[in-house]
Homo-oligomer: A and B are copies of this chain.
Amino acid sequence: MSPAPLLHAIASPADVKSLPAGQLKELCREIRTTLLDYGHTHGGHIGSNLGMVEATVALHRVFDSPHDRIIFDVSHQSYVHKMLTGRALAYLEPQHFGDVTGFTNPDESAHDQFVLGHTGTSISLACGIAKTRNAEIAATGTSGIGNVVAVIGDGSLSSGVAFEGLNNAAEQGGNLIIIFNDNEMSIAGDFGGMYGPLARLRASGGTAQPNLFNAFGLDYRYVEAGNDVDALTAAFEEVRDIDHPVVVHIHTLKGAGYDGEPNSPATPPTTTSTIQTTTTTTTTAHTTQTIAGDASEGIPATANVQHSEPWHSDHCNLSDHEPHEGQCEASHWQNPDASLGKPEDPRKYYGKMAMAALEPRFASEPGLVVISPATPGSNGITHEFRERAGAHYVDTGITESHAVAFAAGIARAGGTPVVATTASFFQRAYDQFFQEMSLNRSRVTVLDFLGGLSGSDNTHSGAYDLAMFANIPQVTMLVPTSGRDFLNDLAWATLPADAKDAPTGSVVIRVPGEGVLAAERDRSLLPITGDRTTEVSELTLGGMLGWRIKQSGSQAALIGLGNTYPLAERAAAALQSEHGITATVIDPKQCTSLDTAVLESLRANHELIITLEDGQLEGGWGEKVTAYYANHWQQAETDETAGNNTAGRSRNPRVLNFGATKEFTDRVPLAELNERYGLTVNSIVEAIIRCF
């Protein structure tokens, strides 16, 4: 760790304000070094924070948080803010790295407004805060809230809700300052027609038309020197206490100060920065500086210049599966050094598998298109794949709603769309899943990554994906339990519309998670299946939607959905070895319809059915099994096949559901969640034995 004496001394934003102006650049230098050290050890969204070092220092220099309210969009760029608001140790001292979350969090600090992990809502949230302040002032002449400042990036601006916010901001009126952090990057590259005009706007020093912000009725200022703390301070001073909404467009450099090789000099292009405004013209002299090993001296950003790779390439997790992957997701995520060489996580592993299966089809299927609303890299949709895919791959920006409607359009025209992103992000497309996709029986394939339980933070949990997808009419949701099944499911879902047995509508495939990948890597976790060829029961509905009986037994049946399937096998093995019970073990393969033939077959000699799922029970899957038996009760006395009480009783097996409580969880390790929810061999075996 570097010494960082200035940063150590900052206990609150007041200390930023009391620093001599001449020390601000030194503070930025310390912050940047701290971020880099932190990133190497802990990982995190380092690139976005490196670009925002100077802007965040200037914000706290000029504004008076928490009286003035600063709302960070998605808050991936809030680390510097945290450092300056009493939480510097959480970045300076490795033993405190776990003290703070990766997002703003009101439970941590009065300077944080919201817990946020999805993009595009900072303007809307800021409008709400400003609205209340306006009302208080109108009613009483005063308010406890001063300036309201929303921070949003150019990538986030592709989100529909951000435009809804922009459109509302000017109409509302009153003080509202929107800091538009333009680093010319989204999570991967920016995508969309607006980025050309934005580039011309930057090139013109903020004077060119069309100006998107003006088109929304907003006042506008431009700061070319978005990594010059003095220029930013001057620009923010100018809009402080402004009486109407204004956009301050700052041109920053994502990953500024990181060259991939800590001690190698890097020389960025030089430029002269100016502050331009469409209402007044204020030109601030800016000394052009060359960065060489010292990355904090006011880093100039450049318009219309391709940033040289070292300046914003990521410190990737180069896995052994794809050793030549050179391009990372543009500083979006920096894995810690310790992660180098570790096995791939399931998202990347199965995502790459899916893309490898689709790619050979591109040549003969012009309508086959993979759509990723941003975040492709996290899901194994590598830069190399994207390059090779050409028009068969579209990154639509951070636009889940558009992505799903777009896919419905492709399907309507006879194409084969595959939409891939993370489960919690798909919440943005809930209405399009209902209307454009399901109601229209659009033949859309959805790849649902990170579905189910994980150790994720509370803004990205996939515990709710089944409740979201599987309760929508006319959706088929598949939950494969192996890479082979996953590929079969993908092949079926993307069959041409006129193919035999093709699905009649949309298909959601939950990409397997840790539980399945661990079992595929260690076959001992599948004691029933072992290495034997899978046998599919004759009892199933047949085809893709029938449940698969992996072991026929009696007394108890274990139905393990998706990632919990290996647990079902292990619990069955323990029942066998510890209690001599040979349980039936079932892989239901999908979660949108019940295989009633299988459920009926279990009545004869099973007293207990166990459902396992690694997601929320309420609104989830297992309770549908419970409800099936409850609503299809067989009276023992009218049952001709019931020879005695026990048999009669078993005609209506009891059902126990294992899964997650309805709650948010924040970075709780998966093993701990499994313990909490009883998703362990011991807990399941005990529950079964208690019933007999």
Which A residues contact B (CB, under 8 angstroms)? Answer: 69, 71, 106, 113-118, 121, 124-136, 138-140, 144-145, 158-172, 191-197, 209-212, 214-218, 245, 366-367, 369, 391-392, 394, 396-397, 399, 401-402, 405-415, 417, 424-425, 427-428, 430-432, 434-436, 438-440, 458-459, 464, 467-468, 470-474, 616-619, 622-624, 626-627, 630-631, 633, 654-657, 662-664, 691
Apart from A139-B366, A211-B215, A439-B664, list 19 A-B contacts with CB within 8 A. A124-B402, A125-B405, A128-B415, A129-B410, A135-B367, A163-B163, A168-B397, A170-B193, A171-B191, A193-B217, A209-B209, A210-B210, A427-B430, A430-B468, A439-B458, A467-B471, A474-B663, A626-B626, A633-B654
Name which residue of chain B comes closest to A407, CB basis.
Answer: B128
Query: Are B132 and A662 touching (Cβ within 8 A)?
Result: no
A396 touches B164 (CB 8 A): yes
- Using A410-B128, A471-B619 as known contacts, say yes or no to A402 and B169 having CB atoms under 8 A apart: no
Q: Are B197 and A168 in contact (CB under 8 A)?
A: no
A399 in contact with B131 (CB, 8 Å): no
Which residue on B lies nearest to A662, using beta carbons?
B473
Per assembly, the copies of the chain total 2
Main secondary structure on A side of the interface with B: helix
Q: How far is the CA of A127 from the CA of B655 in the complex (A)?
A: 47
Interface centre among A367, A402, A691, by most chain B C-beta atoms within 10 angstroms, is A402
Known A135-B366, A138-B391, A405-B121: A397·B164 in contact at CB below 8 Å: yes
- Residues of B contacting A211 in the complex (Cβ-Cβ under 8 angstroms): 209-210, 215
Chain B residues with CB below 8 A from A627, complex form: 617, 622-623, 626-627, 657
**Closest partner residue, chain B, to A690 (CB atom):** B635
Q: What residues of chain B lie closer than 8 Å to A415, measured between beta carbons?
A: 128, 131-132, 135
Q: Are A140 and B434 touching (Cβ within 8 A)?
A: no
Once the chains bind, are A127 and B160 in contact (CB under 8 Å)? no
Chain B residues closer than 8 Å to A402, beta-carbon distance: 124, 127, 161, 164-165, 168
> Is B191's CB under 8 angstroms from A217's CB?
no
Is the Cβ of B432 less than 8 Å from the Cβ of A161?
yes
Q: Once the chains bind, are B158 and A160 in contact (CB under 8 Å)?
A: no
CB distance B439 to A459 under 8 Å?
yes
Return chain B residues, CB-CB under 8 Å to A633: 654, 691
A164 in contact with B473 (CB, 8 Å) = no
How distant is the Cα of A396 from the Cα of B171 in the complex, in angstroms?
9
Contacting residues, chain B, for A162 (C-beta < 8 A): 160
A102 to B248, CA, bound (A): 45
Q: When the two chains form their complex, are residues A214 and B191 in contact, meaning their CB atoms are under 8 A apart?
A: no
Establish whether residues A132 and B474, one from each chain, have CB atoms under 8 Å apart when the complex forms.
no
A131–B406 contact, CB under 8 A? yes
Min CB gap A689→B, angstroms: 13
Q: List 18 A-B contacts (CB under 8 A).
A: A121-B405, A124-B401, A125-B436, A127-B402, A128-B411, A128-B415, A131-B410, A133-B413, A135-B369, A160-B160, A161-B402, A169-B193, A193-B245, A196-B217, A430-B431, A619-B619, A630-B657, A631-B657
A162 to chain B: closest residue by CB? B160
A524: min CB distance to chain B, Å:
31
Knowing A415-B131, A415-B135, A436-B121, say if A631 contacts B618 (CB, 8 Å).
no
Q: How far is the CB of A253 from chain B (nearest CB, A)?
A: 23
Kindly report which residue of chain B lies nearest to residue A475, judged by CB atoms. B662
In Å, the complex CA distance between A393 and B394 comes to 40
Partner of A160, one of B394, B401, B425, B656: B401
| A125 in contact with B427 (CB, 8 Å) | no
A140 to B656, CA, bound (A): 56
A223 to chain B, nearest CB (A): 20
In the bound assembly, the distance between CA atoms of A467 and B475 in angstroms comes to: 15
How many angstroms between the C-alpha atoms of A440 and B103 in the bound complex? Answer: 12
Which 10 A-B pairs rank lowest in CB-CB distance, beginning with the nearest? A128-B409, A160-B160, A170-B193, A193-B217, A471-B619, A164-B402, A132-B413, A124-B405, A430-B430, A167-B192
The reply to whether A432 and B212 contact each other, CB–CB distance below 8 Å, is no
Closest B residue to A392 using CB positions: B135
Q: Are A164 and B399 touching (Cβ within 8 A)?
A: yes
Shortest distance from the beta carbon of A593 to any chain B beta carbon, whole Å: 9
CA distance A136 to B391 in the complex (A): 11
Tell me the complex Cα distance, A439–B633, Å: 39
**Chain B CB within 10 Å, residue with most, of A117, A129, A413, A439:** A413
Chain B hits for A192, CB < 8 A: 167-168, 170-171, 216-217
A11 → chain B closest CB, angstroms: 25
The chain B residue with its CB closest to the CB of A431 is B427
Residues of B within 8 A of A132 (CB): 366-367, 369, 409-410, 413-415
CA distance A125 to B366 in the complex (A): 18
In the complex, chain B residues whose CB is within 8 Å of the CB of A662: 471, 473
B427 adjacent to A114 (CB under 8 Å): no
Contacts of A409 in B (CB 8 A): 71, 124-132
CB closest chain-B residue, reference A278: B210
Chain B residues with Cβ under 8 A from A191's Cβ? 167-168, 171
Q: Give the distance in Å from the alpha carbon of A624 to the alpha carbon of B210 in the complex.
A: 54
Residues from chain B with Cβ under 8 Å of A128 in the complex: 405-413, 415, 417
Question: A167 and B138: CB pair below 8 A?
Answer: no
| Shortest Cβ gap from A633 to chain B (Å) | 6
